[in-house]
Structure 1
Amino acid sequence: MLTHPVEQNDHTYSTVCLCLTKHTYCSPFPFCQCHMNVSQHLTRCSTAAFSSSVASPLSLESALHSKRCQDGSQIGQHPSSHLPTVYHCHWELINSSPTPFLSRNYTSSEDDFIWWKHIQNERRNFDSYKTTVDRLFQIFPPIPDVVGPSPDRCRTCAVVGNSGNLKGSHYGPLIDSHDIIIRMNHGRTKGYEADVGNKTTHHVMYPESAINLDNTTHLVLFPFKIDDLLWLLKSFDPGENSANKARRANKDLVMILNPAFMKYVHEMWLGKKGNYPSTGFLTLALSTQMCDEVNVFGFGADRDGNWNHYFEILKNKQLRTGPHAGMHEHEVILKLKEQQKIGVFKGW
Structure 2
Amino acid sequence: MPLLMHYSGFYNMAVICVITLSMLLVFQTTVDEVSEGMCACKHCVRQQTHSIWFNELYDRSIPPLLTRENYVLSEDIYKYWKGLQKNRNEDNYTAVVEKLFSLFPDKSQYLDASPKRCRTCAVIGNSGNLKGSSYGGLIDLHNFVIRINMGPTKGYEKDVGTKTTHRFIYPESATDVDNSTHLVLTPFKVLDMEWLISAFTTKNITSTYKKIRPSVKANRDKVMILHPAFIKYVHEIWLLKRGKYPSTGFLGIIFALHVCDKVSTFGFGADQYGNWFHYFEKTSNKLRTGAHSGSFEFDTMMQLYLENKIQVFRGR
In which range does the TM-score fall when normalised by the shorter chain?
0.7 to 0.9
Query: Unmatched 5+ residue regions in structure 1?
Result: 1-21, 25-50, 56-64, 71-80
Say if 1:241 and 1:339 are closer, same or farther in 2 by CA, change over 3 A: closer
* Structure 1 consecutive aligned stretches of length 4 or more whose deviation exceeds 3 Å: 51-55, 65-68, 89-97, 144-149, 239-245, 315-321
1:149/1:289 contact within 8 Å kept:
no
Equivalent position to 1:330, from 286, 290, 298: 298
Instruction: Output aligned runs, 1:20-169, within 5 Å.
Output: 52=33, 54-55=35-36, 65-66=37-38, 69=41, 87-90=49-52, 96-107=60-71, 108-125=73-90, 127-147=91-111, 149-169=113-133
Q: Name the TM-score, length of structure 1 as normaliser.
A: 0.71
Equivalent pairs, count = 276
Residue 314 of structure 1, CA deviation: 2.8
Q: Say whether 1:177 aligns with 2:141.
A: yes
How many Å separate the matches in 1 of 2:104 and 2:269? 34
The one-letter code sitting in structure 2 at the alignment partner of 1:112 is I
Partner SS for 1:88: coil
How many Å separate the matches in 2 of 1:216 and 1:93? 32
Equivalent position to 1:266, from 224, 227, 235: 235
1:165-204 deviations in Å (ceiling 9; x for gaps):
0000000000000000000101110000000000101111
How many Å separate the matches in 1 of 2:29 and 2:134? 38
Residue 253 of structure 1, CA deviation: 0.2
How many Å separate the matches in 2 of 1:320 and 1:205? 26
Aligned equivalent of 1:217: 181
1:122/1:226 contact within 8 Å kept:
no
2:39/2:114 contact within 8 Å kept:
no
Q: Say whether 1:344 aligns with 2:312.
A: yes
How many Å separate the matches in 1 of 2:65 and 2:263? 19
Say if 1:221 and 1:136 are closer, same or farther in 2 by CA, change over 3 A: same
Aligned equivalent of 1:280: 249
Say if 1:339 and 1:262 are closer, same or farther in 2 by CA, change over 3 A: same
2:39/2:118 contact within 8 Å kept:
no
Query: Unmatched 5+ residue regions in structure 2?
Result: 1-27, 207-212
The one-letter code sitting in structure 2 at the alignment partner of 1:332 is T
Aligned equivalent of 1:193: 157
Q: Say whether 1:290 aligns with 2:259.
A: yes
1:278-317 deviations in Å (ceiling 9; x for gaps):
1111110001122111000001112222221000023675
How many Å separate the matches in 2 of 1:94 and 1:312? 35
Aligned sequence identity (%):
49
How many Å separate the matches in 2 of 1:165 and 1:281? 17
Aligned equivalent of 1:305: 274
The one-letter code sitting in structure 2 at the alignment partner of 1:335 is Q
Residue 276 of structure 1, CA deviation: 1.7
1:56-84 deviations in Å (ceiling 9; x for gaps):
xxxxxxxxx456725xxxxxxxxxx8xxx
How many Å separate the matches in 2 of 1:327 and 1:241? 37
Partner SS for 2:196: helix
The one-letter code sitting in structure 2 at the alignment partner of 1:287 is A
Deviates more, 1:243-252 or 1:174-183: 243-252
Equivalent position to 1:228, from 189, 192, 209: 192
1:140/1:251 contact within 8 Å kept:
yes
Partner SS for 1:159: strand
Say if 1:23 and 1:278 are closer, same or farther in 2 by CA, change over 3 A: farther
Deviates more, 1:102-111 or 1:212-221: 102-111
Say if 1:192 and 1:270 are closer, same or farther in 2 by CA, change over 3 A: same
Q: Say whether 1:252 aligns with 2:221.
A: yes
Partner SS for 2:240: coil
